[in-house]
């Protein structure tokens, strides 16, 4: 669903999507790693200035968490590269992971972030313009999980507060 409002200096856009992305491997039907059931975006732009050459923009995004398969246990995985002469009683193996038999039955937490930008356009003659932009991604520094290391349980997060500056020339 999409709702747009575009009047004079204002542009507002609200979008919501509901989707299922499933796979059938012959044994079970399960959501794929990129199955985001709910996704909502709100965007607002306002143009201002004497020559309408300034634009401020804000965006908020909310999405349901991606699926993952639960970890049910760990085991020592011994490598027998040396063949029958390997001393498995004294070798240290690698950590092996046992996964739940139901694929992607878990969901990561909801994702959301708030971004803002400010743009200024300068005319460079009749057929060219320069645009300067400043933006901040994830303004409130939301810890959105990217993944969790199964062995150490360390959580890896997506973008922190990320300011940026940009310059573009159109001709």
pLDDT of residue 55: 98
pLDDT beyond 80 at 144: yes
| Distance between CA atoms of residues 14 and 41, nearest Å | 6
pLDDT of residue 3: 98
| Average of per-residue pLDDT values in the chain | 94
DSSP 104: T
Residue range 55-65, pLDDT digits in tens: 999 999 999 99
In Å, what is the CA distance from 154 to each residue of 22, 119, 161? Answer: 28, 38, 20
pLDDT beyond 90 at 85: no
pLDDT of residue 77: 86
| H helix count then E strand count, the chain | 0, 15
Q: Where are the alpha helices (DSSP H) in the chain?
A: none
pLDDT of residue 83: 79
The DSSP string of 124-163 is: -SSS-EEEEEEEEESTT----EEEE-TTT--EEE---SEE
């Amino acid at each position: 669903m999409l709702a747009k409002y575009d009047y004079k200096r204002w542009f507002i856009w609200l979008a919501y999507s509901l989707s299922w992305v499933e796979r059938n491997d012959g044994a079970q039907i399960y959501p794929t790693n990129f199955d985001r059931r709910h996704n909502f975006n709100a965007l607002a732009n306002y143009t201002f200035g004497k020559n309408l050459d300034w634009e401020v923009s804000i965006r908020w995004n909310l999405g349901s968490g991606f699926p993952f398969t639960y970890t049910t246990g760990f085991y020592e995985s011994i490598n027998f590269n040396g063949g029958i002469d390997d001393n498995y009683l004294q070798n240290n193996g690698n950590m092996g992971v046992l996964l739940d038999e139901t694929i992607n039955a878990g969901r990561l937490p909801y994702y959301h972030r708030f971004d803002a930008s400010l743009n200024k356009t300068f005319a460079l003659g009749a057929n060219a313009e320069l645009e300067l932009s400043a933006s901040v991604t994830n303004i409130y520094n939301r810890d959105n999980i990217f993944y969790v290391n199964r062995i150490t349980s360390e959580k890896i997060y997506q973008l922190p507060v990320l300011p940026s500056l940009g310059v573009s020339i159109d001709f």
